[in-house]
């Protein structure tokens, strides 16, 4: 991906076990203790059902083999222990084979509020509960298969689809009831409050062409969120001609960004 990171992932032993330090377990506990209250009345029911099924520990980093048993029974998925950063081809290949990449490191106490690299808290707490849901699981697998076969240019457009669904997706029922299913929101207390309750961001019903043409930044609170009426709508999206939509979006070009340009850092 052309980026570097200070983090080094743990290597599981021959039995798939990772020995986490006391500091790392304390960090997990602190993150869970902080985020669970923020999700009350805000996380979607499918996510809550998934957390119940996974039975995530609150006081120590979970072991991937325990996550795998639940995911395999529910939807045929597993996790895959990966380094802090992986290339896009590896990412898509794993998803296409129903293996969700989990970087086996956890942020330091100094990075509690924001971390550019997705750590094990983001991946397990934010994403894995919804991988117990058939619609979310099939959409993610379909996304992986499409990305694996896509060109480098097409992958940039596909990244927006993932960003505005898997990472930062909201649900908004016809009755106006709002909830969260995107893992980038579910694993961040600040983004949870902002996405769910703030009047500042735009919230728009999901439209494939609009999503593919909407720029985003990874280091800010999102200025726009796209909403589905229910998680099962991901079945319908997976059945669309996504790559045909990508081709059309490339012809039409991108919308103007809804955020300021990132300022360069002087050396």
- Per the annotation, binding residues for Fe cation are 122, 127, 167
DSSP bridge partners of 226:
204
Binding residues are 122, 127, 167
According to DSSP, residue 110 is labeled G
- Pinpoint the alpha helices (H) of 40-169: 45-54, 64-75, 88-96, 120, 134-149, 152-162
A 10 A CB-CB count for 6 gives 9
Instruction: State how far Cα 241 lies from the chain centre.
Output: 22
Cα(137)–Cα(131) distance, integer angstroms: 5
Q: Are 125 and 184 contacting, i.e. CB atoms less than 8 angstroms apart?
A: no
A 10 A CB-CB count for 49 gives 15
Q: Are 8 and 120 contacting, i.e. CB atoms less than 8 angstroms apart?
A: no
SS3 89: helix
């Amino acid at each position: 991906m052309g980026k570097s990171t200070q983090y080094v992932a743990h290597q599981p032993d021959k039995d798939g076990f990772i020995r986490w330090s006391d500091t790392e377990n304390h960090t997990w506990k602190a993150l869970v203790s902080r985020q669970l209250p923020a999700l009350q009345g805000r996380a979607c029911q499918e996510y809550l059902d998934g957390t119940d099924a996974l039975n995530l520990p609150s006081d120590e980093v979970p072991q991937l083999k325990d996550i795998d048993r639940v995911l395999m029974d529910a939807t045929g998925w597993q996790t895959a222990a990966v380094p802090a950063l992986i290339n896009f081809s590896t990412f898509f290949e794993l998803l296409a084979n129903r293996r969700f990449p989990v970087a086996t490191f956890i942020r330091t106490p100094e990075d509690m509020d924001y971390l550019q690299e997705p750590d094990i808290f983001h991946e397990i707490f934010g994403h894995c509960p919804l991988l117990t849901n058939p619609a979310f699981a099939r959409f993610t697998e379909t996304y992986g298969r499409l990305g694996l076969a896509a060109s480098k240019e097409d992958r940039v457009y596909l990244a927006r689809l993932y960003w505005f669904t898997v990472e930062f997706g909201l649900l908004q029922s016809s009755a106006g009831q709002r909830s969260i299913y995107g893992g980038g929101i579910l694993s961040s207390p600040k983004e949870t409050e902002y996405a769910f309750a703030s009047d500042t961001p735009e919230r728009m019903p999901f439209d494939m062409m609009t999503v593919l043409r909407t720029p985003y930044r990874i280091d800010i609170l999102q200025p726009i969120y796209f909403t589905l009426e229910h998680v099962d709508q991901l079945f319908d999206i997976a059945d669309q001609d996504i790559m045909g939509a990508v081709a059309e979006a490339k012809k039409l070009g991108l919308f103007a960004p809804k955020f300021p340009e990132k300022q360069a850092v002087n050396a």
